[in-house]
Amino acid sequence: MTSFRLAAYGVCVGHDNVLLAHYVPPGGSKDLWTLPGGRVEHGEDPFHAVIREVAEETGCEAVVECLLGVDSRVIPAHEAIRGSEHQNVGIFYRVRIVAGQLRAEPDGDITECVWTPVADVASLRRSSLVDVGIALARTVPPTGHVPAVPVGGLIEQ
């Protein structure tokens, strides 16, 4: 059995900071830092999904500045949370916050959103999505692709 997820993520960087969301799943185990974003709903355009997800998770209105790239990774069954192989395709957009005030996600798994110095990211327990998003924002590769981020230590799938 396999699963598939299409998601859109907002990479909001400025003044050597990146906007991160603190994800705490039900039960509080395996919390980590991630980028604002999430699943693209059936029939939804990923461009609109990232705007919706940033608003839901941060309380802020964002505009998309550009498409940064796409990351596709397969998580083997023995590493996947549900015990079956999973493919995640993430579409990364550079976004800019234009209104609102950062807050926790109401009735959600994001407990806080903070501007974090990029230099401090390496010391955080985080999703590999954070490293992919920062790499895309720094290099803006013409192909929209960066090498896979090794998972381990403070970096989670």
Domain carrying residue 12: 2-156
The CATH number assigned to the domain holding 110 equals 3.90.79.10
Q: Which two tokens stand for residue 40?
A: 């693209």
pTM, whole model, 2 decimals?
A: 0.92
* pLDDT given at position 132: 94
Label residue 157 by pLDDT band (50, 70, 90). Answer: low
* Range with lowest mean pLDDT among 4-8, 26-30, 142-146: 26-30
Distance between CA 147 and CA 25 in Å, rounded? 28
Q: Which two tokens stand for residue 123?
A: 């010391």
Q: How many CB atoms lie within 10 A of CB 20?
A: 26
* pLDDT given at position 9: 98
Which whole-number Å values give the CA distances from 23 to 1, 2, 8, 91, in the listed order? 26, 24, 16, 19
The percent of residues above 90 in pLDDT, for the chain, comes to 73
Total number of domains constituting the chain: 1
Label residue 2 by pLDDT band (50, 70, 90). Answer: confident
Spell out the residues 6+ positions from residue 88 whose beta carbon is closer than 8 angstroms to its own.
4, 5, 7, 71, 72, 73, 75
Give the tens place of pLDDT for each residue, 98-121.
999 999 999 899 999 999 999 999
Distance between CA 79 and CA 125 in Å, rounded? 17
Nearest in space to 130 (alpha carbons), one of 7, 21, 40, 14: 21
* pLDDT given at position 36: 98
